[in-house]
Amino acid sequence: MQKRKKGMLVLKDGTKYEALCFGAIVSTSGEVVFNTSMTGYPESITDPSYKGQILVYTYPIIGNYGVPPFSYGNETISEFYESDRIQISGLIISYYSKRPYHWNMYQSLSNWLYKNRIPGLYGVDTRFIARKLRENGGALLGKILMENENIPFYDPNKDILSEKVSVKEKKTYGNGIYKILLLDFGLKNNILRCLLHRNCTIVRVPWNYNFTEEKYDGILISNGPGNPEIYDKPIHYLRKAMNKDIPIFGICLGNQLLGIAAGGSTRKLQYAHRSHNQPVISLKTGKSYITSQNHGYVLDTSNLYKDWKVFFRNLNDDTCEGIIHDYKPFFSVQFHPEATSGPTDTEFLFDIFINSVIKKKMIG
């Protein structure tokens, strides 16, 4: 039996973790973050919000059901993934499943990573690593090193990562009644699916596209990676759009960008929200929901313009989880109502958005 090669996870604070290799035997660097989900690793690994990041899974059994085929459903949208390729820079897990099995398995997780030149490490206490990351704002710069190799640290937050994950030109999906302009900063495919299920025609445009002269029934601002404060042009376009009464819905990074356009600012969280079980409360209804989240930045609402208020708050740390305008059809959320593999408690927010589009079309 061939002996497994060893590698090392090195964090910027000097901490080192020796581990066994799977996937590609290459070195990489980026921002090290964690995820607590029990299932859905193919979706997370292809989520553009993880661009430039090394992902640590706290759940010990990752890879046990392999990965599905990269097939396409309606509208040329991948059936089982959140984008058309792997987005993470590296993967850290506790236990590697050498004999995965699932009725829909096409290949093993290791083989998939190997084909895409993405390194993985296993055989370390990933929950302990997650605790260390939590103590450092939910993330630390780090690198995966193979034996006798070294590379510099890389900070993805200094780059406009949407340039790497957004579409390059306008693209249309569906043939529904409601025309939705989708600003793609690193879109998850399930946002497309949620809109198509609601009778929409989706016009997907690049992150820096000047949409101010476009005609549409509503705007959806997608999720995406990186520092929200560096997106000056899109924020300028959003401010112009807010002079109209066309419905706007922002998700994750979209929440932060809409919040900045509405007078707010963002800051790094002391403890990032990177789990599939974050409780939030609606300040409109008093109802609580379990949500999926993946973000290191949070919206500071202390300087929001008049007529804006907090929509949702996090029940763990009381941070802002969404904002809403008092009378215009604008709102956004920090969590993922489109989350796959769930929870889907807040998918009704797409209905609220589309209902506001319908109302606007009826009154003209």
Catalytic residues: 252
Element housing 140 (H / E): strand 140-146
Q: In this structure, are residues 326 and 308 in contact, taking their beta carbons and an 8 Å threshold?
A: yes
In DSSP terms, 91 is beta-bridged to: 55, 120
| Rounded Cα–Cα distance for residues 3 and 234 (Å) | 51
Q: Whose CA is closest to 272, among 160, 126, 132?
A: 132
DSSP H helices in 251-347: 253-261
CB neighbours of residue 79 within 10 Å: 14
Q: In this structure, are residues 202 and 77 in contact, taking their beta carbons and an 8 Å threshold?
A: no
Q: Which one-letter amino acid corresponds to residue 332?
A: S
Could you check whether the bond before residue 48 is cis, i.e. omega within 30 degrees of 0? no
